């Protein structure tokens, strides 16, 4: 693949995934506009995430049935329309409906990542996936910063208009630069969805990767869900703004994505994945014993993010090599498991904080990464008793 195309796909992933996170810094302003409580206004963020999960389950599998370029362009235009609809929404109910659709149509990155894997050669697949993923990660990271600034100076509706304009611009650019990418699945949409279960039953490597990904995302989510509570505790007495700055520190994970892809290409996905698990384990040991010191907390965040991205890219590289004609559906299974794991991690992290404070959170993280190691070491391996 030409480097320019790889970076264009990475930029697209970053800008599209940002649609999901723009609303988070704007929730207070949205609440004031419609006279809502904070808890009710926060439903905008929740509904958007629900829409994205539905997109993973219902839209991403179409990447194996429909020509991927035309599908991507159609989703981008639908995203633009929904972003504009949110910008002019006269009521909270209409804003919530638009938010659901924004999440649904923002599944484009999970189409482009399998597309990049299919366009890349076997020798460069991990590196290409890593670079495209780095764009997605930077989009998640910077979206909140940009949205907060635009919302504070120009109002929350302006951010939705900016997002709509970016989707139109991306559509125009990708229409010229993105190559066509034909698919092979010829069955009905119903059979396409049913085939997800078939893939899970027939591919133990997919089941293992999904289980490892769920555990790792759970440990990752447990940390980030409770970090703001830890920073506001007597250990630091910092505000939520400082928690946002830790997100910038976590950008190291985006740069690690490319390194992880190269490692997977050169030494195999299992090598890079085991290295990521080891780093993740080390990060929680560091956070557990040194988290009350700022330098220890910062170092722990960096190592945690690098370990997370190494395992994630290695898992995706591994599953994309299983059945080239089903890469979008393989990604659907894997990412759905990761989202379930992230939700469980957030719940367990919050529960641990309520009862045991920071040591409890670190214990949850260590427990989940140990489960990830055991799953990768024993689950679905030839001769293993655990299928």
- The domain ranges of the chain are 1-176, 203-380
Q: Quick one: average pLDDT of 139-143?
A: 79
- pTM above threshold 0.75: yes
Confidence of residue 287 (pLDDT cuts 50, 70, 90): very high
Q: 380 phi and psi, to 5 degrees?
A: 70, 15
> Taking the alpha carbons of 59, 60, 61, 66 in that order, is the dihedral positive or negative?
positive
Query: Domain 1-176 adopts which CATH fold?
Result: Growth Hormone; Chain: A; (1.20.1250)
- Look at residue 280 and give its three-state secondary structure: helix
Q: Greater confidence, 224 or 287?
A: 287
Instruction: Indicate whether 42 pLDDT > 60.
Output: yes
Output the pLDDT for position 269. 77
Evaluate whether 161 touches 300 at the Cβ level (below 8 Å): no
Exposure of 191 in the CB half-sphere (CA atoms within 13 A): 5
Q: Render pLDDT for 342-352 as a digit per residue (tens, 0 to 9).
A: 878 888 888 88
Q: Give percent above pLDDT 90 in the chain.
A: 45
Top mean-pLDDT range of 232-246, 302-316, 370-384: 302-316
Q: What are phi and psi of 235, to 5 degrees?
A: -65, -30
Residue 215: pLDDT over 60: yes
Instruction: List, in order, residues 6 or more apart from 110 with CB less than 8 Å away.
Output: 55, 56, 60, 63, 328, 331, 332, 335
Cα–Cα separations (whole angstroms), residue 308 to 2, 6, 155, 207: 27, 22, 35, 18
**Per-residue model confidence as pLDDT tens digits over 5-36:** 999 999 999 999 999 888 877 887 888 899 98
pLDDT higher for 144 or 299? 299
Question: 385 falls in which pLDDT band (50, 70, 90)?
Answer: low
What pLDDT does 31 receive?
A: 87
Q: What DSSP line would sit under 65-121, residue for residue?
A: TS-HHHHHHHHHHHHHHHHHHHHH-SSHHHHHHHHHHHHHHTTTHHHHHHHHHHHS-
pLDDT at residue number 151: 84
Fold classified for 203-380: Growth Hormone; Chain: A; (1.20.1250)
Distance CA 62, CA 329 (A): 8
What is the CB neighbour count within 10 angstroms for residue 284?
A: 27
How many C-beta atoms lie closer than 10 Å to residue 4's C-beta? 9
Half-sphere exposure of 102 (CA within 13 A, CB side): 33
> What local confidence, expressed as pLDDT, does residue 70 receive?
92
Non-local (6+) Cβ contacts of 265 within 8 A are 123, 124, 125, 126, 127, 317
**pLDDT tens digit sequence for 292-324:** 999 999 999 889 988 988 898 889 888 988 998
Q: Work out the pLDDT band at 209, boundaries 50, 70, 90.
A: very high
Q: Which two tokens stand for residue 254?
A: 């985006």
Residues 126, 271: Cα–Cα separation, whole Å: 13
């Amino acid at each position: 693949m030409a480097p320019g195309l790889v970076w264009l796909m990475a930029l697209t992933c970053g800008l599209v995934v940002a649609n999901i996170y723009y609303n988070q810094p704007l929730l207070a302003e949205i609440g004031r506009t419609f006279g809502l409580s904070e808890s009710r206004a926060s439903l905008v963020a929740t509904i958007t995430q629900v829409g994205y999960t539905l997109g993973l389950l219902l839209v991403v599998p179409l990447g194996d049935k429909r020509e991927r370029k035309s599908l991507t362009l159609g989703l981008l235009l639908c995203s633009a329309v929904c972003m504009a609809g949110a910008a002019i929404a006269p009521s909270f109910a209409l804003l919530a409906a638009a938010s659901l659709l924004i999440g649904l149509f923002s599944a484009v990155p999970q189409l482009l990542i399998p597309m990049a894997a299919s366009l890349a050669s076997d020798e460069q697949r991990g590196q290409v996936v890593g670079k495209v993923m780095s764009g997605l990660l930077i989009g998640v990271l910077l979206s909140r910063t940009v949205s907060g600034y635009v919302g504070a100076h120009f109002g929350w509706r302006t951010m939705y208009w900016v997002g709509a304009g970016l989707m139109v611009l991306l559509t125009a650019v990708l229409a010229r630069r993105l190559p066509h990418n034909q698919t092979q699945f010829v069955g009905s949409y119903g059979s396409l969805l049913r085939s997800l279960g078939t893939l899970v039953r027939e591919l133990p490597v997919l089941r293992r990767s999904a289980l490892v990904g769920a555990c790792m995302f759970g440990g990752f989510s447990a940390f980030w869900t409770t970090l703001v509570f830890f920073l506001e505790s007597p250990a630091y007495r910092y505000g939520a703004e400082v928690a946002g700055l830790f997100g910038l520190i976590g950008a190291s994970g985006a740069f690690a994505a490319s390194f992880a892809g190269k490692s997977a290409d050169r030494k195999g996905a299992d090598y890079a994945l085991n290295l990521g698990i080891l780093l993740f384990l080390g990060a929680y040991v560091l956070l557990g014993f040194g988290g009350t010191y700022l330098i220890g907390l910062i170092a722990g965040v960096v190592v945690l993010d690098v370990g997370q991205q190494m395992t994630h890219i290695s898992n995706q590289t591994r599953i994309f090599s299983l059945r080239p004609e089903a890469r979008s559906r393989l990604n659907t299974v894997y990412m759905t498991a990761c989202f379930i794991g992230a939700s469980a991690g957030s719940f367990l992290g919050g529960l641990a904080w309520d009862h045991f404070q920071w040591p409890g959170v670190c214990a949850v993280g260590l427990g989940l990464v140990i489960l990830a190691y055991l799953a990768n070491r024993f689950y679905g391996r030839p001769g293993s008793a655990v299928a």
